[in-house]
Structures are given as C-alpha cells and as structure tokens.
Amino acid sequence: MRLYLCASLLLLLIPFTSSTAEDVDLSVVHRIKAEAFRNSQVMDHMFHLSDVIGPRLSGSPEYRQAAEWAVSAMKEWGIKRVELERWGKFGRGWSLKRFSAHLVEPRYVPLNGAPMAWTAGTQGVVTAEVVAAPLYESKAQAKVAYDLVKLTKHLKEYAEKNKGALKGKIVLLDRIPEFEPREEPLSKRFNDEGLARLARAPEPVAAEPIEWPITSFPIDEKERYRAYATLPLEVTEDYSARSMRVWGLLHAFLRDEGVVAAFHTSDEKTGGIIFVDDSASWEEGAPVPPPMIVLPPETYAQIARLIEKEIPVKVELHLEVEFYDDDLDDWNVIAEIPGGEKKNELIMLGGHLDSWQAGTGASDNAAGCAVVMEALRILKALDLKLDRTVRLALWGGEEQGLFGSRGYVRTHFGDPITMEVKRGHARLSGYFNIDNGSGKIRGVYLQGNDMMRPIFADWLAPFRDLGVETISIRNTRGTDHLSFDAVGLPGFQFIQDPLEYSTQTHHSNIDVYDHVVPTDLMQASAVLASVVYHAATREEMLPRKPLPDPLPEKKPTDIGVW
C-alpha cells in the first residue's frame, strides 16, 4: 500500500508530456465549434454569391461584382487589410444577357438549353433549319476521344459534298444519345470502405517521359489520365489551355460556312441536366464561333431522330451576349489577419471565386469561398491570438487553368518552370484549399508529403466524431493547391463527401443554392478554422517536400487534342 502510494506521488511530481506530436488546444477547438455551429453565417455568404450575384464567369461583370462584395463583407467583419490584387492578363470577357430557344417545326416545343461561353449571339431572333453532322457514327467511337480536328475534317467533307448545305443552318455536332438505366446513385457520401481505399497508397507509377512538342495524349482513357496526372502542372494546364486553340479550327469553319448555330448535348446518363462550360477561347484574337448551345440529351435525341427520319426541323433562337476587353477578371481577392511574434510568416487558405454560366456556381465554388470566408470570420470573431499572419485568397480564372493562383504564386513565391524562388517562398508555411463541392470534410490529401501525416492526425482528431479521420498520401488534381505544390510549398486540398458533385452539379444548370448542404458547410468551416489556427500558432513551420526540378527548356509549341 505504501509502495503504491509512493509511486502515485512520484507520478504526480513528473511533468505531464503529451504523447501527440502537436499541441492541439482543445479549448480553442471548442470555441471554434461553438461559433461555427451556433452563430454560422456560411449560408448567408452562399446566398449572396449564388442567389444574388449568380454565375461568376471569368472576365464578366458578375465576377467583379462578387469580388467587390467579398471585399466589402470582410471589411464589415473588421478585417482591415482586404483588397483586389492583379494576378496577370486574362483576355476577353464575356457575359450572357438573354437566351431562349423553341422548336417550331414539326411542332412547338420550348427548349431548355444553355449557351457555351465566349460564343457569339444571334443578332436578334432567328429561325433556321436543323441539320445533323455528327462527329461519331457509333457510341463506341464516341468513347475514344473528343477529336476536334476529326470533326472539322468531317464537316469540311460534308460541306464539299453538299455545297452551301450548312449556310443558314443550325448544326447538330454530336451523335444521337443512347439511353440506359442508371444503376449507380446520383448522390453519395463516403462509406468506410471508400475512405479506407483513399487511405491506402496508390500503386507506384513511373512518370511519363515528356516529349516536345506535346501534340496528343494516349487515346485510352486510363493511359491518358496516367500520363496527364504525372506531368508537371505547367505542362498539363498549359496543354488544356492551348487545346482550346484547336477549337478555333472548328469555329472558323462554322463561321465561314455561314452556320447560324451549333448544338451539343450532355451525357445521356444525367437525365435532363445540362453540363456547360466553354467552347470558344477567351484569348484575344481567337475565332468567335456562331452560337454554341448545349441541350439536354433527351431534347437533343428527339431532334436528331426527327432529322434521321427526314422530317424537317426548325428552331427559333435568341441569344444576346456581350464581350469585354477591360480586364474585369485579372484580380484575386486578398484578405488577412496580421500575426504576432511571427507575423512575417504566412498561413494561407482559399478557394476559387469564378464559375460557369449555366447554374449559379453554388457547389463549384461558392461553397468553398463561403467556407474560407467563414473560417476567417470565425478567427476574427473569436479574436484568437495568431502568431503567423493568416491570409485568405479568393482566386480568379481557376476554371480556365488555375490562372489566379498561378499568377499569385509566380509574383510572391516562385516560378514553377525555372524553380527560381522569391523571398516570400521561405515565409509561407502552408496553404489549405476548399474546392470539391459542398460535401463535409472527411480528411485531407497529403500530396505525397508524408511528413504532414502525424501533424494532420493530431489536428483532425477533435473532429473524428464529425467524420474527419482519413489521411491520404495521394495527390489530387484540378484545383488551386497545385499552384503552391508546383513550387515545393505545402499545399493541401481536403477530402470531401462527393454528394452530387461529379454526377449532377459540377458545371451544370443545377449547380445552385438548393443543392448545397448547410450542415456540411458549417462542419467544413469549423475544421478549416481549427486547422488554420493550429498552423498559425505551431512552433515550427510546416515540413516541405524537396523543391521540384525545373522543366526542360523546350516548351509545348504545337498542341493537339486528346
């Protein structure tokens, strides 16, 4: 009994040391959760961005309106340094003013559709016959690749055989959709099996050799993704941007032939949903095509069947658009809370502000912007002591190639081609991004940075009962954390429940407020605010991977299509 008592007293005299690698302040986590859940304003941010302002296409007045609203809102919260910062030169802007479409022969049907960005208007109401010039003859061929050069050649051959056949016509450019019952769910959350799969490291993949100039990627979809995923950011994103120039071949031909408009359609598995982005280039001087309209697969199929049966089809169109050349989208929104004893070091959080025009850009990416703004509001409202400066960024031009974040990184941190770094490179501890829809956070992608694994494990532990526990070594692509990772800076995107993101809302006409889950955004705001707080107060900066190698001297010069 005495030995037990003595041993107990000795234990009380030994200083308590946490077994965790990180000093997680649970009292702060409690306060963050309380503010995020009881006093949430995240859906107010969502409402203003999606319902009030609406789609925020790069280069449009609506994008600038959203940026200025965000500046004003954060100033009202007491954030003193909030500004618009130029990221570079974008190109010409474009805005949709009015659109309507009606089938008028063989009978009247109102047509639900949406114009693709950077196409011309109709110069008033026009009525024209519809003709079919499909790219592929079969569904199997359509799965191979979307070959615009082949399409242009096909149309030229059609025009040569039928001189003047396309003049004054509306052209169907896609095959007739073939419908099959959809068996997989349209909306889902990660289950234990799915999260366990993400937590497992992928099989090692050797990097594809880069051959210059890059003119095409493999035809097979899996091989193409593998090649694309292992190439550096500057190669893959520039490849995607330059491939837009190949559309110019098609656009110039359609314009020269006097085509009134062209119709595309969405995947037949989506059942009436329209997926819309751009067809024409935003680059100044690129050919402006006639109106390019996306129709739901059912509507497109109906028109295509009528034409196949040689029944005349006429459509009435009215499309008003406006082009801009005054750099409306050359800006990022930057806001910061100054730090204390390490104020020269930075923690950044962000998401992209721009969107496409068919919906209101709610899940892509007003949701991400609302979460990062809310996280900053929480930190400010709680008046938490932050050693490092916390800087928020809402990026422009993400949808066209991560332009806003890439321009910012080049200006402040380093060049991803030469790998020449700037003074600010040593000051950035880490960047945290939100841009995978409105699903709750379930974990984080490490981008191959194993040194971050124990750090995230401790940071996310207080949110395990909210479903946040998966740490994946995998790289995830397609959004602004890549701009930081490309120059060797710690940049991370969170794992989020997919919900309807990849099946229904991504770039579609139903990407609207109603398809966002409020409780998920509240959870994500709390997780992000906590991660940012602990990164800002951590004794050391976040560990980094080695600086990537510079890219070869030769650059892509002749970009083809997939």
Please report the pLDDT score of residue 250 as a whole number.
77
* pLDDT, tens only, 497-522: 999 998 899 999 999 999 999 999 99
Band (pLDDT 50/70/90 cuts) for residue 241 is low
Given the DSSP bridges, would you call strands 292-295 and 114-115 parallel, antiparallel or unpaired? Answer: antiparallel
Band (pLDDT 50/70/90 cuts) for residue 185 is confident
**At the top level of CATH, which class does the domain 97-179+186-322 belong to?**
alpha beta
Please report the pLDDT score of residue 329 as a whole number.
63
232, 416 contact by CB (below 8 A)? yes
Please report the pLDDT score of residue 555 as a whole number.
53
Element (H, E) at 194: helix 192-199
Band (pLDDT 50/70/90 cuts) for residue 429 is very high
Band (pLDDT 50/70/90 cuts) for residue 13 is very low
Name the residue among 305, 533, 513, 370 with its Cα closest to residue 41.
370
> Residue 407 pLDDT > 90, yes or no?
yes
> Residue 556 pLDDT > 50, yes or no?
no
Instruction: Provide the strand spans (E) within 215-302.
Output: 261-265, 292-295
Q: What is the mean pLDDT of residues 152-157?
A: 72
> Residue 17 pLDDT > 50, yes or no?
no
Q: Is 429 helix (H, G, I), strand (E, B) or coil?
A: strand
- Percentage of the chain modeled with pLDDT above 90: 67
> Residue 321 pLDDT > 90, yes or no?
yes
> Residue 387 pLDDT > 50, yes or no?
yes
> Residue 134 pLDDT > 70, yes or no?
no
Domain locations along the chain: 31-90+327-537, 97-179+186-322
Non-local CB neighbours of 486 within 8 Å, separated by 6+ positions = 232, 233, 234, 406, 409, 416, 548
pTM: 0.90
**At the top level of CATH, which class does the domain 31-90+327-537 belong to?**
alpha beta
> Residue 540 pLDDT > 90, yes or no?
yes
Among 226-230, 231-235, 393-397, which range has the highest average pLDDT? 393-397
DSSP characters over 149-177: HHHHHHHHHHHHHSTTSSTT-EEE-SPPP
Q: Give the other-Cβ count within 10 Å of 318's Cβ.
A: 16
> Residue 256 pLDDT > 70, yes or no?
yes
> Residue 401 pLDDT > 70, yes or no?
yes
Mean pLDDT of the residues in the chain: 87
Band (pLDDT 50/70/90 cuts) for residue 300 is very high
Please report the pLDDT score of residue 210 as a whole number.
63
Q: How many CA atoms lie within 13 A of 412 on its CB side?
A: 21
Integer Cα distance of 116 and 446 in angstroms:
35
